[in-house]
Amino acid sequence: METFCCCIPVRLGVFILSLLTIALGALVSAASWVQLSKLGSDADTQQKVIIIIAGVVYGLLAFFSLLGFIGSVIANRALVKTYSVMLWINWFLSLISGGLAIWQLFRADAVPNVVQSCQASDTTATEADCTNAFKVIRVVYIIIFVILELIVLYACVIVSRYVDQLKQEEMFHHVENLEHQFASRPAPVVMQYGAPAYAPLPAGNPSTQYVNKAY
């Protein structure tokens, strides 16, 4: 039986992870659609596209996580495998989107735009204050991003292990059923070859024993 964290069965891990990803996917998807409705026509097209993609991706994550939850309860490999594939896709997409977000944070025009927005919201803030705060935010964002990506990657590995375990269990049950089928069949009749096809003649003189014998 596959385990993680030394002793926890992967089936229990998939059960817990599916519940967490259901909640996370539904929450982020709902927040994305709410944010899109609040923006209205003020947001540019690029921002709207990013929010719509996030809403769709995390909505699908919540849906397939529900399939993974059901699959972990009834030990269905097809459902758990679907959940596993969706987790890997989500991790890959989040890796790309997070990388793009980090790239935007370090663009040449990122600091001036943030300083301008910062001073517009707080007239007492100086340019140095806004710049230093933005630098801290960038470092914190990168640390959180790396930690979350490692956690999601580990979750993907756990679910993949459970898929492999279910595959091995199915193969074991298949072999076990074949053994039961062979065991329930009647034993085959074994023909012995090389034995004489007729009874031997009685002892005595074979030339006279049956000659002139009255019947």
**Which tokens in the block code for residue 117?**
């927005």
Q: How confident is the prediction for the chain on average, in pLDDT?
A: 77
- The residue assigned the tokens 């096809």 is 197
What residue ranges do the domains of the chain occupy? 8-172
Sequence-distant (≥ 6) Cβ neighbours of residue 80 within 8 angstroms: 14, 68, 71, 72, 159, 162, 163, 166
Separation between Cα atoms, residue 156 and residue 83, nearest integer Å: 9
pLDDT level of residue 2 (50, 70, 90 thresholds): low
Taking alpha carbons only, the member of 176, 152, 168 closest to residue 2 is 168
pLDDT level of residue 23 (50, 70, 90 thresholds): confident
Q: What is the pLDDT of residues 126-153, one digit of tens each?
A: 888 888 888 888 888 888 888 878 878 8
Separation between Cα atoms, residue 14 and residue 164, nearest integer Å: 13
More confident residue, 174 or 164: 164
Full-model pTM: 0.64
Alpha helices (H) in the chain, listed in sequence order: 10-39, 45-74, 77-105, 110-121, 127-184
Estimate the share of the chain in helix, then strand, then coil, as percent rounded to the nearest 5: 75, 0, 25
pLDDT level of residue 24 (50, 70, 90 thresholds): confident
Res 192 pLDDT > 80: no
